Homo-oligomer: A and B are copies of this chain.
Amino acid sequence: MTPSKRAAREPRRPYHHGNLRRALLDQALATIRADGVDGLTLREIGARLGVSRTALYRHFADKRALLTAVATEGFRTLRQQLVTAWEQGGRGDAAFYSMGVAYVRFAVANPAHYRVMFGGFVDPQAQDPELATEAEGAFQALVDALATLQKDGAFHSDETVLMARYVWALVHGVAMLGIDGQLRDQGGVEELMRYAFERLRTGIRTSTA
Protein backbone atom coordinates (compact mmCIF):
# COMPACT_ATOMS: atom_id res chain seq x y z
CA MET A 1 0.00 0.00 0.00
CA THR A 2 2.55 2.56 1.08
CA PRO A 3 5.16 3.59 -1.45
CA SER A 4 7.88 1.90 0.60
CA LYS A 5 6.00 -1.37 0.54
CA ARG A 6 5.51 -1.13 -3.17
CA ALA A 7 9.26 -1.02 -3.71
CA ALA A 8 9.76 -3.99 -1.40
CA ARG A 9 7.34 -6.29 -3.20
CA GLU A 10 7.88 -4.98 -6.70
CA PRO A 11 7.60 -8.18 -8.72
CA ARG A 12 8.71 -7.05 -12.12
CA ARG A 13 12.11 -5.69 -11.17
CA PRO A 14 14.23 -7.75 -13.58
CA TYR A 15 17.15 -9.01 -11.57
CA HIS A 16 20.40 -7.41 -10.58
CA HIS A 17 20.75 -5.98 -7.18
CA GLY A 18 22.72 -2.83 -7.31
CA ASN A 19 25.76 -4.27 -5.59
CA LEU A 20 24.79 -7.79 -4.69
CA ARG A 21 28.24 -8.72 -3.48
CA ARG A 22 28.22 -5.90 -0.97
CA ALA A 23 24.67 -6.74 0.11
CA LEU A 24 25.59 -10.39 0.60
CA LEU A 25 28.57 -9.45 2.74
CA ASP A 26 26.54 -7.08 4.88
CA GLN A 27 23.79 -9.63 5.33
CA ALA A 28 26.32 -12.31 6.25
CA LEU A 29 27.85 -10.01 8.84
CA ALA A 30 24.45 -9.18 10.31
CA THR A 31 23.48 -12.84 10.48
CA ILE A 32 26.76 -13.83 12.07
CA ARG A 33 26.39 -11.08 14.63
CA ALA A 34 22.88 -12.24 15.49
CA ASP A 35 23.17 -16.02 15.29
CA GLY A 36 26.87 -16.83 15.26
CA VAL A 37 28.80 -18.55 12.51
CA ASP A 38 26.83 -21.76 12.85
CA GLY A 39 23.63 -19.84 12.23
CA LEU A 40 24.82 -18.66 8.86
CA THR A 41 23.11 -20.40 5.95
CA LEU A 42 23.46 -19.33 2.36
CA ARG A 43 19.80 -20.01 1.74
CA GLU A 44 18.64 -17.62 4.44
CA ILE A 45 20.98 -14.90 3.24
CA GLY A 46 19.50 -15.15 -0.21
CA ALA A 47 15.98 -15.18 1.16
CA ARG A 48 16.56 -12.06 3.24
CA LEU A 49 17.83 -10.26 0.18
CA GLY A 50 14.93 -11.46 -1.94
CA VAL A 51 17.29 -13.31 -4.21
CA SER A 52 17.61 -16.88 -5.31
CA ARG A 53 19.71 -19.07 -3.05
CA THR A 54 22.19 -19.70 -5.81
CA ALA A 55 22.71 -16.07 -6.78
CA LEU A 56 25.50 -15.95 -4.23
CA TYR A 57 27.66 -18.22 -6.36
CA ARG A 58 28.04 -15.44 -8.92
CA HIS A 59 30.07 -13.50 -6.35
CA PHE A 60 31.63 -16.13 -4.10
CA ALA A 61 33.03 -19.52 -5.01
CA ASP A 62 31.46 -21.16 -1.96
CA LYS A 63 30.57 -20.61 1.67
CA ARG A 64 34.21 -20.62 2.69
CA ALA A 65 34.95 -17.82 0.26
CA LEU A 66 32.16 -15.78 1.78
CA LEU A 67 33.60 -16.31 5.24
CA THR A 68 37.04 -15.39 3.97
CA ALA A 69 35.63 -12.10 2.72
CA VAL A 70 34.00 -11.54 6.11
CA ALA A 71 37.32 -12.18 7.82
CA THR A 72 39.13 -9.86 5.42
CA GLU A 73 36.74 -7.08 6.25
CA GLY A 74 37.28 -7.76 9.95
CA PHE A 75 41.03 -7.31 9.64
CA ARG A 76 40.52 -4.09 7.74
CA THR A 77 38.28 -2.69 10.47
CA LEU A 78 40.62 -3.89 13.18
CA ARG A 79 43.62 -2.20 11.60
CA GLN A 80 41.74 1.06 11.28
CA GLN A 81 40.80 1.00 14.95
CA LEU A 82 44.36 0.16 15.99
CA VAL A 83 45.84 2.97 13.93
CA THR A 84 43.25 5.41 15.22
CA ALA A 85 43.96 4.49 18.82
CA TRP A 86 47.70 4.86 18.28
CA GLU A 87 47.52 8.20 16.53
CA GLN A 88 44.85 9.79 18.66
CA GLY A 89 46.59 8.53 21.78
CA GLY A 90 49.73 10.48 20.97
CA ARG A 91 52.00 7.73 19.64
CA GLY A 92 53.55 7.16 23.03
CA ASP A 93 53.37 4.67 25.85
CA ALA A 94 49.77 5.63 26.66
CA ALA A 95 48.82 5.19 23.01
CA PHE A 96 50.37 1.74 23.08
CA TYR A 97 47.99 0.78 25.86
CA SER A 98 45.11 2.36 23.94
CA MET A 99 45.92 0.10 21.01
CA GLY A 100 45.65 -2.93 23.24
CA VAL A 101 42.33 -1.76 24.61
CA ALA A 102 41.08 -1.06 21.09
CA TYR A 103 42.06 -4.56 20.01
CA VAL A 104 40.28 -6.31 22.86
CA ARG A 105 37.30 -4.00 22.55
CA PHE A 106 36.89 -4.91 18.89
CA ALA A 107 36.93 -8.61 19.74
CA VAL A 108 34.51 -8.33 22.65
CA ALA A 109 32.16 -6.07 20.69
CA ASN A 110 32.17 -8.41 17.68
CA PRO A 111 32.80 -11.88 19.09
CA ALA A 112 31.32 -13.89 16.24
CA HIS A 113 33.11 -11.80 13.64
CA TYR A 114 36.34 -12.19 15.56
CA ARG A 115 35.89 -15.95 15.63
CA VAL A 116 35.55 -16.00 11.85
CA MET A 117 38.93 -14.26 11.68
CA PHE A 118 40.70 -16.62 14.09
CA GLY A 119 38.53 -19.67 14.55
CA GLY A 120 39.96 -21.77 11.77
CA PHE A 121 37.09 -21.07 9.37
CA VAL A 122 39.39 -19.60 6.80
CA ASP A 123 42.50 -21.27 5.45
CA PRO A 124 45.19 -20.88 8.09
CA GLN A 125 47.77 -20.24 5.48
CA ALA A 126 46.98 -17.05 3.66
CA GLN A 127 45.76 -18.66 0.47
CA ASP A 128 43.63 -15.64 -0.21
CA PRO A 129 45.93 -12.72 -1.09
CA GLU A 130 43.50 -10.03 0.01
CA LEU A 131 43.01 -11.70 3.36
CA ALA A 132 46.76 -11.99 3.78
CA THR A 133 47.23 -8.33 2.95
CA GLU A 134 44.68 -7.14 5.47
CA ALA A 135 45.83 -9.49 8.22
CA GLU A 136 49.43 -8.40 7.75
CA GLY A 137 48.30 -4.80 7.70
CA ALA A 138 46.71 -5.11 11.13
CA PHE A 139 49.83 -6.77 12.50
CA GLN A 140 52.01 -4.13 10.87
CA ALA A 141 50.16 -1.40 12.78
CA LEU A 142 51.43 -2.98 15.97
CA VAL A 143 54.94 -3.45 14.60
CA ASP A 144 55.11 0.21 13.58
CA ALA A 145 54.00 1.39 17.00
CA LEU A 146 56.53 -0.80 18.76
CA ALA A 147 59.31 0.35 16.44
CA THR A 148 58.54 3.94 17.36
CA LEU A 149 58.60 3.15 21.06
CA GLN A 150 61.89 1.34 20.63
CA LYS A 151 63.40 4.23 18.70
CA ASP A 152 62.34 6.56 21.50
CA GLY A 153 64.14 4.28 23.93
CA ALA A 154 61.00 3.42 25.85
CA PHE A 155 61.11 -0.30 25.10
CA HIS A 156 63.91 -2.82 24.79
CA SER A 157 65.45 -3.02 21.36
CA ASP A 158 64.68 -6.68 20.79
CA GLU A 159 63.76 -7.81 17.35
CA THR A 160 60.62 -5.82 16.67
CA VAL A 161 58.63 -8.55 14.97
CA LEU A 162 59.30 -10.96 17.81
CA MET A 163 58.21 -8.40 20.36
CA ALA A 164 55.13 -7.64 18.29
CA ARG A 165 54.20 -11.31 18.20
CA TYR A 166 54.55 -11.41 21.95
CA VAL A 167 52.20 -8.47 22.42
CA TRP A 168 49.82 -9.78 19.77
CA ALA A 169 49.62 -13.15 21.51
CA LEU A 170 48.84 -11.42 24.77
CA VAL A 171 45.99 -9.25 23.52
CA HIS A 172 44.71 -12.13 21.41
CA GLY A 173 44.65 -14.31 24.50
CA VAL A 174 42.89 -11.68 26.58
CA ALA A 175 40.36 -11.19 23.81
CA MET A 176 39.66 -14.91 23.55
CA LEU A 177 39.22 -15.26 27.31
CA GLY A 178 36.88 -12.29 27.22
CA ILE A 179 34.83 -13.75 24.39
CA ASP A 180 34.64 -17.16 26.00
CA GLY A 181 33.11 -15.59 29.05
CA GLN A 182 35.94 -16.71 31.28
CA LEU A 183 36.33 -13.20 32.70
CA ARG A 184 32.73 -12.94 33.68
CA ASP A 185 33.11 -10.95 36.85
CA GLN A 186 32.17 -7.35 36.37
CA GLY A 187 34.91 -5.45 34.62
CA GLY A 188 37.02 -8.57 34.34
CA VAL A 189 38.36 -7.77 30.90
CA GLU A 190 39.30 -4.20 31.75
CA GLU A 191 40.94 -5.24 35.00
CA LEU A 192 42.98 -7.90 33.25
CA MET A 193 44.02 -5.48 30.51
CA ARG A 194 45.24 -2.92 33.01
CA TYR A 195 47.18 -5.53 34.93
CA ALA A 196 48.51 -7.20 31.81
CA PHE A 197 49.93 -4.01 30.34
CA GLU A 198 51.50 -2.93 33.60
CA ARG A 199 53.22 -6.29 33.95
CA LEU A 200 53.94 -6.41 30.25
CA ARG A 201 56.10 -3.36 30.83
CA THR A 202 57.74 -4.35 34.08
CA GLY A 203 57.64 -8.14 34.23
CA ILE A 204 56.36 -10.43 36.92
CA ARG A 205 59.69 -11.35 38.49
CA THR A 206 60.77 -9.56 41.63
CA SER A 207 63.91 -7.50 41.34
CA THR A 208 65.51 -9.50 44.15
CA ALA A 209 65.19 -12.82 42.29
Q: Is A43 at the interface (CB under 8 A from chain B)?
A: no
Q: Work out how many copies of this chain go into the complex.
A: 2
A192 touches B165 (CB 8 A): yes
Contact pattern, A 153-186, Cβ under 8 Å of B = 1, otherwise 0: 1111010001101111111111011011111100
Report the bound CA distance from A115 to B120 in whole Å. 8
B192 touches A166 (CB 8 A): yes
Q: Is A200 at the interface (CB under 8 A from chain B)?
A: yes
B200 touches A204 (CB 8 A): yes
- Total count of chain A residues near the partner, CB < 8 A: 48
B176 touches A172 (CB 8 A): yes
Can you report 30 residue pairs joining A to B where beta carbons are below 8 Å apart?
A36-B120, A118-B180, A119-B119, A120-B180, A124-B179, A124-B182, A153-B206, A153-B208, A154-B205, A155-B204, A155-B206, A158-B195, A158-B204, A162-B191, A162-B192, A163-B204, A165-B177, A166-B192, A166-B195, A166-B196, A168-B173, A169-B173, A169-B176, A169-B192, A170-B173, A172-B176, A172-B177, A199-B203, A200-B204, A201-B205
